[in-house]
Structure 1
């Protein structure tokens, strides 16, 4: 494969590492964040050091033919170990068990990485091979063992990560389930890489030439595996990052009809100006506060007898229309609010307010404001626009 096939995914991995750095600095002791950063860093390193131009550069810099091989394989072992550790920390459990499993995994793959250099030093690999080192030296003492060892370590990590992810899959839902599914798919693709390599090396042992499996078929599996696993880790993080703003925006938008109906009912001195660049969460809170202020202004004009009659009518019609009891209550509240707005506008001198003695219950609650707004959408023929002075919570 050419350099772009390695460097483009590596660039994506580098970007992911940079995105996670601020969180890592703020929570340097968080084992999950550390394991995410370690996995992304080592996986990106595998792609960088696997690029043909980087292999040539490493060999030239060190002056040792094929020194890029143990370097690449050791980084791959670090990636495998950090991937398993990430799954262990992501899944959670008793801290003692997590620490024990983490140490065992780190020690195992650190030992495998060290063994790569020992076996390379003991072997003889004078001819530089950029793409077919696995098959070219498949029958060379010590080099053969190094090749088999990295394939076994990589296959074991892929199987273990897929197994842990599959066990966890039934216990999670939504974005985490999608992320785990992508990770499992990535581990399966990684096994495809190993199978191609094993088949090509085994063919060399048998005296055949299946090098094309190692040089042409295996690398695409590696690149696709990395992208799938990277997406698997990224999907839950991205969804969690944007889920709350999306909920705020959805609620803000759905409260629009109710907000516009109550727009301008609150005295101008009570209106709080909204900053131009306020977040959607702040705008949602501001809109809700304005709605509650408007409902408080309407409180003296609420006619609960009207609401009771409207609720009875709505409940009577509910079975035929398929509406729920909550929908019927929201429709009754909406009719009462509309009537209260009309009553307030018909009382410019505030006689009702002057004779008002006791605060009445507010229609609905925080959880029902959206339902109330949607009921207003059905009842009002056009978007309500009050001629009251300019306000800020509409």
Structure 2
């Protein structure tokens, strides 16, 4: 059957498929009648079983446990045929299509591959394989009646599913973007390796039919294709699942980093009436930490509103526009300059509130541009020249 890379390679490939399969359990428990989730779970589970059972050590143990010579060949090839059908069924359910068309294609797929599995079992029982073959079953029994038909059946069933999946995944990847496109392209690579697995074995079997020996294709080449395809396929199926979450976390962390200058500036501003909770970054989910920091920054800006001077903002706005005609950047710099001056005003007179009501703290709707504007030359200039802002425009 399969050898070459050794037992660990098969076990690692199987473990990778089972790991992704485990990721499907929580949503499967919530949506027990979802055909897409069931087909994904079945495909991943069958693939993991194939990889674990195809390891040379597993083949020997299975033959010994059942007492049937080459029983492992029947189990692995039947499982591989079922995996082929499940793979095709998954893509059928996954790819957007009219519901009736999807149901019709799914019924044909289930019927065809159920028949293929049954054919593999019947042909094995009809044939005679008395000599145990752990690594070269296909080539050793390539000329044996019924067994050779079983070998060709499972390889053709596996190859047809792989080619169909390559075509569908490649076409679909052109219509989507992001982690789904990346996952589909990885699946194309994985299914191409499936095709390579089938072709190398068929070539070796055909060589035996013509009296030649190309057994190294079975013992060395095809197992590597199978192991590598399992790992790539696991990543391809997992990427659309975890990709959006990872991308969302990256976006949140990026916002936290961009808000860091404003957080360092305003985190100690007193905010009477606002409840602040200390959330350690190392054990707080990034999204929760971002929400907490944004709330704290809004509270701090609101607390500084009485100290905000619209004259400072107008002056900073004119200065920013004179240096750069970008209105959005100028507005952010003006708001940031006013908040910086208000903070120093509050520090200069913490016990005395301004006599006149303060201006609206800021015009921008996003804290990130405001935080980034703290590093602008306009804000730095106002920070350097307004050391006693209480005297700037208010008594």
TM-score, normalization by structure 1: 0.88
Distance of 2:72 and 2:95 partners within structure 1? 34
- State which drifts further: 23-32 or 245-254: 23-32
Which one of the candidate residues 164, 168, 171 is aligned to 2:172?
A: 168
Equivalent position of 2:369 in the other structure: 371
Indicate if the aligned counterparts of 1:120 and 1:143 stay in contact, CA closer than 8 A: yes
After superposition, the Cα gap between the structure-2 partners of 1:31 and 1:303, relative to the gap in structure 1 and judged at 3 Å, is: farther
Equivalent position of 2:228 in the other structure: 224
Equivalent position of 1:64 in the other structure: 68
SS of structure 2 residue aligned to 1:208: coil
Equivalent position of 1:279 in the other structure: 285
Are 1:332 and 2:334 counterparts? yes
SS of structure 1 residue aligned to 2:376: helix
SS of structure 2 residue aligned to 1:294: helix
After superposition, the Cα gap between the structure-2 partners of 1:266 and 1:30, relative to the gap in structure 1 and judged at 3 Å, is: farther
Which one of the candidate residues 341, 344, 366 is aligned to 1:342?
A: 344
Equivalent position of 2:196 in the other structure: 192
CA deviations 1:104-160 (Å, max 9, x no partner) are 212211110111011111122222222111112112221111111111111111111
Equivalent position of 1:389 in the other structure: none
Equivalent position of 2:306 in the other structure: 300
Which one of the candidate residues 157, 178, 201 is aligned to 1:153?
A: 157
Distance of 2:327 and 2:43 partners within structure 1? 51
Are 1:78 and 2:82 counterparts? yes
- The answer for unaligned runs of 5 or more in structure 1 is 385-394
Indicate if the aligned counterparts of 2:308 and 2:361 stay in contact, CA closer than 8 A: no
Equivalent position of 1:201 in the other structure: 205
Distance of 2:295 and 2:66 partners within structure 1? 67
Stretches of 4+ moved more than 6 A in 1? none
Q: How much has 1:344 moved relative to structure 2?
A: 3.0
Equivalent position of 2:20 in the other structure: 16
Indicate if the aligned counterparts of 2:191 and 2:229 stay in contact, CA closer than 8 A: yes
CA deviations 1:173-203 (Å, max 9, x no partner) are 2222221111111111111111111111111
Aligned length: 375
Equivalent position of 1:390 in the other structure: none
Which one of the candidate residues 123, 147, 162 is aligned to 1:119?
A: 123
Indicate if the aligned counterparts of 2:331 and 2:363 stay in contact, CA closer than 8 A: no
Distance of 2:190 and 2:21 partners within structure 1? 19
Equivalent position of 2:393 in the other structure: none
Q: How much has 1:164 moved relative to structure 2?
A: 0.6
Distance of 1:290 and 1:81 partners within structure 2? 54
